[in-house]
Each structure stands twice: as structure tokens, then as C-alpha cells.
Amino acid sequence: MRDPTQSVNLTNVITDLHARRGRSRRSEHVFFLVMALVSLAITFIGFARTYFLRSSFHPEPLSLTLQVHGLAFTAWVLLLLTQTVLVATRRIDVHRALGWAGAGLAGFMVLIAFDAAVIAVHRAVVCCNADAARTFFAVPIGDLIVFPILVGTALASRKNPPAHKRLMLLATLTILDAAVTRWPLHFIQSTKWGYYVTLDVMIIAAVAYDAFAHRSLSRVWTWGVPLVIGMQVAREMIGRTEVWHTFARLIVG
């Protein structure tokens, strides 16, 4: 005869398992929502004076290219927030439809960012330190290599939601270096590596929390974070070489 206590114990185990899964999903939704809001805050703080509130600080308007560039990157961060909310509210159908728009936006961002980088660096070559400007040109080019790699891999991982959303988050954090470098903080403004350290600490903190919450480290972080930090180091080294300066002269003058 079957022991009724076994059925009770099994029911308790199943109930406990469902409860833990529910808490895990809620904590994950909160994590990605907070990270999306943090990304938005980083963007606004960094570009408040030069873009969002420009009329209050600079009388001259931005060029059309830079206005479109700013609009596209702002739209990307807002899209990340929107997609996060849609997943949390289980509007997966809308999330998927917007995903294809996001893929198109990512492609456009690469093109407009390259154009904006060429214009900005060319101006610096003409008016200021030409060698320093050509060296710096490696920074936006490095972002324009890493960002599409992460986004492209995320799109290819659509059927693996945990990997997909972590790749999208990392891709977004990667392009926030331009915002962080404009933060009015002495540590960032007075040291060459200040904005790298600030951004990387935020990335590593997000990874650490995610790993702690799930008791495991996602494979996305194990190769994605080294790619991001490795490119930061590589573009600083490559930007100083004569080969790079020769290439930069062909593109930006």
C-alpha cells in the first residue's frame, strides 16, 4: 500500500521548486530592469551638457550627423529598457517584433557612429593635436568592432533567452564608455584610464551579482567580458603604432 506521506512530501518538493523558480525569475527581471535604468542614467549624465541639455550650456547647435548619432544611441538604450519591461510583463510577441527593429537600429548605429567618429577626429586633427587625435581614433573603431560582435551573437542566440539578454546588456554597456568619459568626476577627468576603470567596475559588479544570484557564471560573461576589456587594452596599444596612424591619415586626414 502506498504511503500517503510520500505523496505529501512530493507535493511539497514540487511546490517549493515552483516557488524557487518564481523567485529566481522575479530577481532576474529586477536585475535586468535595474541595469537598463542604470544604462539610461549613465547616458543622460554623460551627455546632459553636450546633447540632452545642450541649449543650456552651449549656444552652437550640433551638426545633423551628431544629432542623429545621439538620437540613435539614446533610442538603443531606451529600447533595452522597453524590451526588458516587455519580457518582465510576458509580452514576448511584442518583444520579438521590436527585436528585428533593434537589429536594424544596431546596424544603423555602426554606420552613423563611424561617420560621427570621422567628423570629430578630423576636426581634432585640424584644430588641435593631430597625432593624439589619430591615436584616439582607435577608441571608437574598437567599439564598432565589439558592439556588432555582441549584438550579432545575441541575435543568433534568440532561442537561448539567458544568453541573448546578457549579450544585449553587455553590448549596451560596451558603448557607454563615451558617456562615462564625460562624467564631471575628477578621477575620470584627471586620469587616462579613469573612465575605463569606472565602466569595467560596473560591468564586473553586474557579472558578480548575476553569478551570485544564480550560483553560476554564465558562459556569456566568460568570453564577452574579456572581449570588451581586451579590446580596451588593444585599441590603446594599436592606436600608438605608426601603422595605425598611417591608416588614420587615410580616413580622417
pLDDT in tens, 28-63: 889 999 999 999 999 999 999 999 999 899 888 999
Residue 76 in grid coordinates: 538603443
Residue 2 lies in a domain: no
Ranking 140-144, 157-161, 185-189 by mean pLDDT, the lowest is 185-189
Q: How confident is the model at residue 249 (pLDDT cuts 50, 70, 90)?
A: very high
pLDDT, tens digit, for every residue of 166-204?
999 999 999 999 999 999 888 888 887 888 999 999 999
Residue 161 lies in a domain: yes
Q: What is the pLDDT of residue 14?
A: 44
Torsion of CA 239, 243, 245, 250, to 10 degrees: -130
DSSP state at residue 128: S
Q: How confident is the model at residue 150 (pLDDT cuts 50, 70, 90)?
A: very high
Alpha carbon distance 78, 84 (integer Å) = 10
Count of beta carbons in the 10 Å neighbourhood of residue 248 = 24
Number of compact structural domains in the chain: 1
Residue 118 lies in a domain: yes
Q: What is the pLDDT of residue 184?
A: 87
Domain range enclosing 98: 15-252
Torsion of CA 102, 103, 104, 105, to 10 degrees: 50
pTM of the model: 0.88
Alpha carbon distance 12, 6 (integer Å) = 10
Query: What are all long-range contacts of 84-92, with beta carbons under 8 Å and residues at least 24 apart?
Result: 84/29, 84/32, 84/33, 84/36, 84/165, 85/33, 87/29, 87/32, 87/161, 87/165, 88/29, 88/32, 88/33
Q: How confident is the model at residue 5 (pLDDT cuts 50, 70, 90)?
A: low
Alpha carbon distance 162, 37 (integer Å) = 19
Residue 52 lies in a domain: yes
Q: How confident is the model at residue 15 (pLDDT cuts 50, 70, 90)?
A: very low
Residue 1 lies in a domain: no
- Residue 204 near residue 232 (C-beta atoms within 8 A): no
Residue 7 lies in a domain: no
Residue 25 lies in a domain: yes
Residue 3 lies in a domain: no
